[in-house]
Amino acid sequence: MSNIPPAPSGLEDRFTPPPGWRWHFFTRNNRKLRFGSAFPQDSIPDAVVVCLPGLSEFGEKYFEVARYCLEHNLAFWVLDWMGQGRSDRYLKNPHKRHSTGFQNDVEDLHYFILEYIKHSSVHPDKGRIPLAMLAHSMGANIGLHYLSQHPGMFECAAMTAPLCGIKALKPLPDPLRLSLTGLLGTLARKIYVPGGGNWREDMHPAPPAPKSLSSDPARGSLHNLWSLSDPALQVGGITFGWLNRAARSCAKLRKNETLDAIRTRCLLAMAGIENLVDNEATKQTAQKIRPAEILQLPESRHEILMERDEIRSLFLDRFYKLIEETIIARPETLKPF
């Protein structure tokens, strides 16, 4: 399916679909999920980047990242998780960001890779084209679980502000945290958490607002520009059900048996000005993943890939170096899928 919703009026070219961009859908368990892709037009890609967005995000936010990948001879795929973007929603009210468990997202991702990406990542002359994961926040949580369960699929993974712990729940000890969110997730499962509600512009404030998730005026405005242009992309607050599932996923992620199973080389980038995820939990997680590196970005806000150039480039340069070191410079070590 190649139809592309019109971009917001006046959007800079770098934020519009790159050449050859295509949207598609797949159906799994009677749920329809959307994904997008683009490929270098005159060369065989060195690697395939699989992008896993964060909470409430959508593929359109990552057009500039897709252009970066194409410029570096990398194919690019992005998935709209169930419950956001133009994928199906969980509840009758499409604004409520709900969840039935992050493991379902892991399984959606595996289906997506096996049925679509894997088949497109083999060239008759070059053979297997390896995969590199690029994940943000909630997408990184799902991505880390995926790496634990399917350790041979990706050659490397880079993650921005990974959701290894929820900052608002940090003061609570683990047992109380899980008990409280579990109780609320049972009694008020489909109800917005306090402060939630249907989508509003002030839920994702643009710079220079103190609680903005980026300090870059153009990139920090993208979320609302696309949401206003295409109301189907709008997502409101989280439900108690989502909060419970997220807390449980974070707790499971930090277990030794989960992290010990990860054999993929990882880069975990932390934002210094962070209001959403628990950076201490990220540090603890990274220390248990043996092939892991931490990149600290003290001046960055939560959305590192939407930050101003001097911050964003620090991460993207390290991400491409990771691909060079694990894929481009070592083709002889790559194994078949």
Domain spans of the chain? 13-333
Between strands 265-271 and 156-160, the pairing is parallel
Residues near 80 by Cβ (< 8 Å), separated by ≥ 6?
33, 34, 35, 53, 58, 59, 86, 87
Residue 130: asked if its preceding bond is cis (omega within 30°), the reply is: no
Say if residues 289 and 256 touch (Cβ distance below 8 Å): no
The reported pLDDT for the residue numbered 291 is 86
* Burial label, 91 (beta-carbon count in 10 A; 0-12, 13-18, 19+): middle
Structure tokens at 182: 């579990």
The reported pLDDT for the residue numbered 123 is 85
Q: Hey, is 79 helix, strand or coil?
A: strand
The reported pLDDT for the residue numbered 330 is 73
Between strands 156-160 and 127-128, the pairing is unpaired
The reported pLDDT for the residue numbered 1 is 47
User: 212-217: long-range contacts at Cβ-Cβ below 8 A with a sequence spacing of 24 or more?
Assistant: 212/301, 213/276, 213/301, 213/302, 213/303, 213/306, 214/301, 214/302, 214/303, 214/306, 214/307, 214/308, 215/299, 215/300, 215/301, 215/307, 215/308, 215/311, 216/306, 216/307, 216/308, 216/309, 216/312
Residue 22 has a CB neighbour count (10 Å cut-off) of 14
Beta bridge partners of 265: 156
pTM above 0.75, yes or no: yes
Say if residues 134 and 65 touch (Cβ distance below 8 Å): yes
260 vs 203: CA distance, rounded Å: 37
The reported pLDDT for the residue numbered 124 is 86
- 55-77 burial string, b = 16+ CB within 10 Å, else e? bbbbbbbbbbbbbbbbebebbbb
Structure tokens at 16: 């519009």
The helix (H) or strand (E) run that includes residue 75 is strand 74-79
Superfamily grouping for domain 13-333: Alpha/Beta hydrolase fold, catalytic domain (3.40.50.1820)
Per the document, the length of the chain is 337
Tell me which residues of the chain have a pLDDT lower than 50: 1-2
Q: What is the pLDDT of residues 110-150, one digit of tens each?
A: 999 999 999 889 888 888 999 999 999 999 999 999 999 99
The reported pLDDT for the residue numbered 183 is 95
C-alpha distances (whole Å) from 22 to each of 25, 42, 51, 144 are 10, 17, 15, 27
